[in-house]
Chains A and B, each alone.
Chain A
Amino acid sequence: MIAYNKILLSNLLVVKKTKQWFSRDLINGAQMASVLNKYPIEYFKPNIFIKVGLFLFTLFLISAGLGLFSLVTMSIFMNDNSFEGYSIVVSIVFGGACVFFLEKFIQWRNWYSNGIDDALLYSALSFIFSAVAFSISNNLNDEDGLLLLCFIYLPFLIAAAVRYIDRVVTIFMVVCIYTIFFLLIMKIGDVAKFIMPFAFMALSAAFYFIVKKQMYLPQIIHYKGCLKVIKSIALIVFYVSGNYYVIRESSVEFFHLDLNEGQDIPMALIFYAFTAFVPLLYLFFGLRSKDKLMVWAALLLIAVSAITFKYYFSLGHPEVSLTIAGIMMIVLAYASIKYLINDKNGITFKDDPNEDNFLKTNAEALVIAQSFGTHAQPIDTGVEMGGGQFGGGGSGDKF
């Protein structure tokens, strides 16, 4: 099922694990060396930045190839009004070529995750998408067209995610499933608006629990990254489908709910409670089960909830809220750091030793430069506050 060299994939897993153990002194150098000997991982593995370069220039190359190809062939093959037919053919040709080269390079060169294969895969999927979209473009404008498009496209996404264990494709796959689900429920009619939030919660919960159960099965060990992606999306969509702001605005948008001044949506209290407590529950369970993904989702969603409540219950003093929120975060973080300086209940403040620190330390410096850095001084007017820090403070729209 997997296109990549399976021995390479499992060797990578073994080496990754043993490297972690080695960095924690669980195995000695001789053992590490014999693992590296026994499980060789020789393949073209460029540095992350080179990977970015390879990805970008492969995409340029494919687009330029498309341009050149169309320029040469368009005048020959295209009649007056067969633009759609021509596009479909070109898309299929290019999509097929991308898949062909992808498969062949993986076979010949043992390629795995080097930027070029990603670029080829995403291009192939884009060409397939445009082929599908052009084939049904006559009724693409209404909801049925979109539904049809998703239905036809979904098998390609699933196949690509399974065969190339790609996380980005997995995101699109899940989004595609949610879209189909949404459009199908919309078909029910009037009841849809009552069912929708709960249906989305149910689907997300189903995703979450299925993935959670499968996560540690040895057969699908290579899909762990993809499963994590599905899990994160499920956690976030579960929250979003009960978030007060989303419910209220989507009721107005999709279900033509008319809210007068001072009126509230049905079952408002439930959704307020949902907005407030779900992130906290995530945090609690995430910490208890040592699930970092859930902790991250919780932290993100706590911020979203705070903004949601702020939006509806604003006191009209954003600067006071900013200051108080800042103080609260500082106090909370400080207290937690002090508390967790030694391990408590399996949670610690100590840094993970086996994580790559380069990006983290340097990224921090750049973020500081971005948020506090001095802008150029105006030469002639100069009424701006000197350091730019005040100016930075004024632009509260960041939050």
Chain B
Amino acid sequence: MNVTDQLINDGILDQDQAQRINDSERDKPMSVHWELKTILYLGILLFMSGLGILVYQNIDTIGHTVIIGVISIACAASFYYGFIRRKPYSNGEVKYDSPLFDYVVLLGCLLFGVLIGYIQYQYMVFGTHYGIATLFPAALFLGTAYVFDHKGILSLGITGFAASAGISVTPMHLLKNNDFSSNDIIWTSIVVGAVLAGFSKLTDIKDVKKHFGFTYNNFASNILFIALLAGLFNEGYMAFVYFLLIAGLVFYYMRYAIAEKSFLFLLLSVVYGYIALTYSFFSLLIQIGNELSFMLGLFYIVASCAAVVLFFIYYKRILRIKK
């Protein structure tokens, strides 16, 4: 039976209204909002890539000044467009109706990054201080993100900030590009992650752009957990300290997840915490190392998985969340 007929039977809808709903269902336009935006975005991606290669190949014939000039003008034009259409800054979320606005501002930022990279490569304006050459655009991105309320540019700024400290935090490269067997990387990552999480917490308290919290904490939680796990795996006398730090972080992000209703963080803390616990348990078992320990290990996996499943089912009751 049709839903509208059913509701008429229940006396919730009357005939006229049901008719209106059926008409509206039939005539409702199809939204191609995200499809067109995706095409636009992919177009910009392809265009930027193609242009990048073209410029790279023809540097000798075009000349540096021309390239720098063109990129600067395009960059300035994008930012000009952004600034004249800008809405006044607010600590809350600012929404732009124009679909193009976000992309033009993003383009301006990308061009600025290319420009700085180019100038640094060609003229070494920052000398061998590569960190500063990355930090400078990153700072501009972070500022732009706040001015134009743009999460994409914010994540560019965060990756730039982390890169200037020497680590890759882009989602796919987090594990691939970083050598987590070195203690320097681990400590740098912990500092970067803590700064990001702390800054997000601070802005949260001050009520500045609260909706940026997800982006900050998504980078921060992953980099922190992975760095701490790497510290745990590297063993040595610090392992216990790392274990405690992970436990603390699990606690922090569980509370964060519940406060923000952002359950990605609940999943992340449980998964990372489970890895840490399992690793520690098994290294203890190996140290004891008698015949029973293999059996005990298997029992541990069965019991712990069951425990996690039960936790996910009853987490509201376990964490005392009022519904």
Contact = CB atoms under 8 A, between A and B. Distances in A.
Interface of A: 13-14, 17-18, 21, 24, 26-27, 31, 34-35, 38, 44, 46-50, 52-54, 56-58, 60-61, 64-65, 67-68, 71, 115-116, 218, 287, 290, 292, 295-296, 299, 318-334, 336-337, 340, 343, 346-352, 360-362, 364-366, 368-379, 382-383, 385-390, 392-394, 396, 399
A349 B29 CA distance: 9
- A-B pairs, top 6 by smallest CB distance, nearest first, are A386-B117, A326-B47, A329-B43, A393-B52, A322-B50, A323-B50
Contact of A321 (B13, B32, B50, B134): B50
Interface residues of B, number: 101
Given A329-B39, A346-B30, A374-B113, A382 B156 contact: no
9 contacts: A27-B17, A54-B312, A61-B309, A295-B32, A370-B170, A374-B159, A376-B178, A377-B133, A393-B50
Contact of B35 (A31, A295, A350): A295
B66 interface: no
A88 to B, nearest CB: 23
A387 B113 contact: yes
Contacts of A386: 113, 116-118, 120-121, 130, 133-134, 137
B124 to A, nearest CB: 10
B136 to A, nearest CB: 10
A346 B315 CA distance: 45
Interface of B: 1-3, 6-7, 10, 12-13, 17, 20-21, 24, 27, 29-37, 39-54, 56-57, 99-100, 106, 110, 113-114, 116-118, 120-121, 128, 130-131, 133-134, 137-138, 151-156, 158-160, 162-164, 166-173, 177-178, 214-215, 218, 263-264, 266-267, 270-271, 295, 298-299, 301-302, 305-306, 308-309, 312-313, 315
| Chain A interface helix/strand/loop/mixed | helix
Given A49-B263, A319-B54, A333-B43, A57 B13 contact: no
Given A38-B12, A351-B33, A389-B110, A375 B168 contact: yes
B44 to A, nearest CB: 6
Contacts of A24: 24
A328 B39 CA distance: 10
Nearest to A379: B166
B40 A68 contact: no
Given A323-B47, A365-B154, A334 B100 contact: yes
Given A337-B40, A393-B56, 5 more contacts: A47-B263, A349-B33, A372-B156, A376-B166, A390-B114
